[in-house]
Copies of this chain bind each other. A is one copy, B any other.
Amino acid sequence: MIDAVGFAAKNLDSSLERHEFQRDEPGEHDVVIDVMFCGVCHSDVHQVKNEWANTVYPCMPGHEAVGRVSRVGAAVTAFTVGDIVGVGCMVDSCRSCDPCQNGEENYCEGPNSWLATYNGPMIPKAKAQTGENMYGRDNTFGGYSSVLVVNEDFVIPIPAALPPAAAAPILCAGVTTYSPMKEWGVGEGHRVGVVGHGGLGHMAAKLAKALGADVTIFTSSTAKVAELVAAGLDAVHEADTDRLKSLERGFDFILSTIPQRHDVNPFVMLLKKGGVLCVVGALEPLEPVNNQEVAFHRRTVTGSLIGSITETVEVLEFCAEHGITPDIEIIPIEQVNEAYEKMSSGEVRYRYVIDMASLSAV
């Protein structure tokens, strides 16, 4: 076993605290990674607070991890010691369902879907012990930790052009917004809206622009509108009804990154005939959608879940090629609880990344 240390919530009521644990020794296809940086995603907050009612404690989040390979299993060919690599939201999948066979592990239809980098198969321990768990474990510990041991198929090469800390958020925030834009063909001449301008939203705006689209950002933050407009971007306050009215039927594709239940109807109104609204932030019931506005212009409301391993490799290369990096604030791990509060209040600009070297000081 490999001694490891990370930050975890022991139960629903606890904040994240230092937690010592052990990782399995690497199998022949596994890669051992000394974690250097890990992004802080809004999903981490949801999961720690059991807001999806499926948290297995202790809960050690982190699915935007970048580190250095320190050891590889005997059969590993794609990675060698010293490589800078990433681990995103998934560390395994069933490998045999149609989506897995077609390189879309993020839509794995195996008995427990894909194996999450943290919180394991996302089912409580009691249920895991009934044998309903193909992965043979009821929890996984994520990237808020000193070391990860991951099957090589779920390890992502990080392009040399990307600083490791800045690459981290691309592993979730980047691919989660890139995948649907590729799926729905966002490109040159398209008018794209991005709703919410946090970790996902700010990456969506950069990626859409690099894909050739004309981008408008919608946010509920007056401060962000001012900052974005000052930076030369097109930003609209969600309550600016005059501007919203003027934008009706103007957009080919709108991505909603708001990480909680919300009303998508004002954005449905902004879609052209045949336009697509894709909701990636809120994994819960949305406010009722008025099908009159959907049907009258054959609009579509859809969703998308992270992206495949192939797409993750692709978006990292795309970012390297186009000089895109997320706007990050690097924090020591002892500030992670405070960071959660600042994320919830919208203070972050725009992604916290934990410097995992700080672990040794706590």
Contacts and interface: CB of A to CB of B under 8 A. Distances in A.
Interface residues of A, number: 35
A112 interface: no
A292 interface: yes
B305 A298 contact: yes
A286 interface: yes
A99 interface: yes
Interface string A264-305: 000000000100000110111111111110111111111111
A296 B183 contact: no
A109 interface: yes
Interface of A: 52, 98-99, 104, 107, 109, 113, 183, 249, 273, 279-280, 282-292, 294-305
Q: How many copies of this chain does one complex carry?
A: 2
A189 to B, nearest CB: 15
Contacts of A99: 273
Contacts of A52: 292
Residue from the set A99, A249, A297, A298 with the largest chain B CB neighbour count within 10 Å: A298
Given A290-B284, A291-B279, A299 B302 contact: yes
Residue from the set A107, A273, A295, A300 with the largest chain B CB neighbour count within 10 Å: A295
A200 to B, nearest CB: 13
A98 B252 CA distance: 14
Nearest to A113: B296
Contacts of A289: 285-286, 289, 301
Contacts of A298: 107, 183, 302-305
Contact of A109 (B249, B300, B303): B249
A97 to B, nearest CB: 9
